[in-house]
Amino acid sequence: MAYNKPLPVPSAESKPFWEGCRRHELLVQRCRACGKHWLPPSALCPECLSTEWEWTRASGKGKVFSFVVYHRLYHPGFKDELPYAVALIELEEGPRMLSNVAGDVKAVKCDMPVEVFFEDATEEVSLPKFRAASSGRP
């Protein structure tokens, strides 16, 4: 069945992020001058305004800063998902990003540890999503 949810429309700045997702790599920007990491993608470091920065691969680990659970349909593509959780994920490196937490919405809590996985939405687009971090892993 054709994918019927909205797909990201990358900006000039975010294109590398989405290309990374396609390779199942979660990328964040890192400033070479001050060392800060950030998202969403932008042309210069929001801390020190340096343009000397690079894309770097994030660990994919983080925690749920906060979350909401949709019970009302805002887009027909999510009809079969209700109720679904949208979470603000704080990555280990610092930046925060919106995503989904997979699984039972009742299990989602603030500050719960999560890890990234990638969902191949189409041939061209993969979405970074999160699930409860597997515990006790070596």
Partner 1 sequence: MSLRDKYAIVGIGQSQIGEVPGSSSLGLLAEAMKNAIQDAGLNKGEVDGLVSRGPDDIYCHHQRMGEVLGLNVNYSTSLDNGGASQALGVILACLAMDAGLCHTVVCGYGRNAWSRTRQAAESRKGSLQQHAGAEEQLPREFGPEFGYFGAVATHAFGAQRHMHLYGTTKEQMGAVAVSFRKHARRTPWAQMKKPLTMEDYRQGRLIIEPFNVYDCSLRTDAAGAVVVTSAERARSLKQPPVYISGFGSHNNLRGWFFDDHMVNTAARASGQTAFRMAGMSPGDVDTAQLYDCFTYMVIAELEDYGFCPKGEGGPFVASGALDLEGVLPTNTAGGQLSEGHVEGMLQILEAVRQLRQKEPPGRQVPKAEVALVSGHGGNAVCHTTLILRR
Chain positions contacting Zn ion, by CB under 5 A: 31, 33-34, 45, 47-48, 50
Closest CB 137 distance from partner 1, rounded Å: 26
CB atoms within 10 A of CB 61: 16
Assess contact for 55 and 28: CB atoms under 8 A: yes
86 - beta bridge partners?
68, 100
Q: Residues 71-110: x/- map of binding to partner 1 (CB under 8 A)?
A: xx-xx-xx--x-xx-x-x-------xxxxx--------xx
| CB proximity list for 31: less than 8 A, separation 6 or greater | 37, 38, 45, 47, 48, 50, 52, 53
Q: Is 11 in the site for partner 1 (CB under 8 A)?
A: yes
Smallest gap from residue 20 Cβ to Zn ion (A): 20
Candidates 29-37, 52-60, 69-77 — which segment interacts with partner 1 by CB under 8 A?
69-77
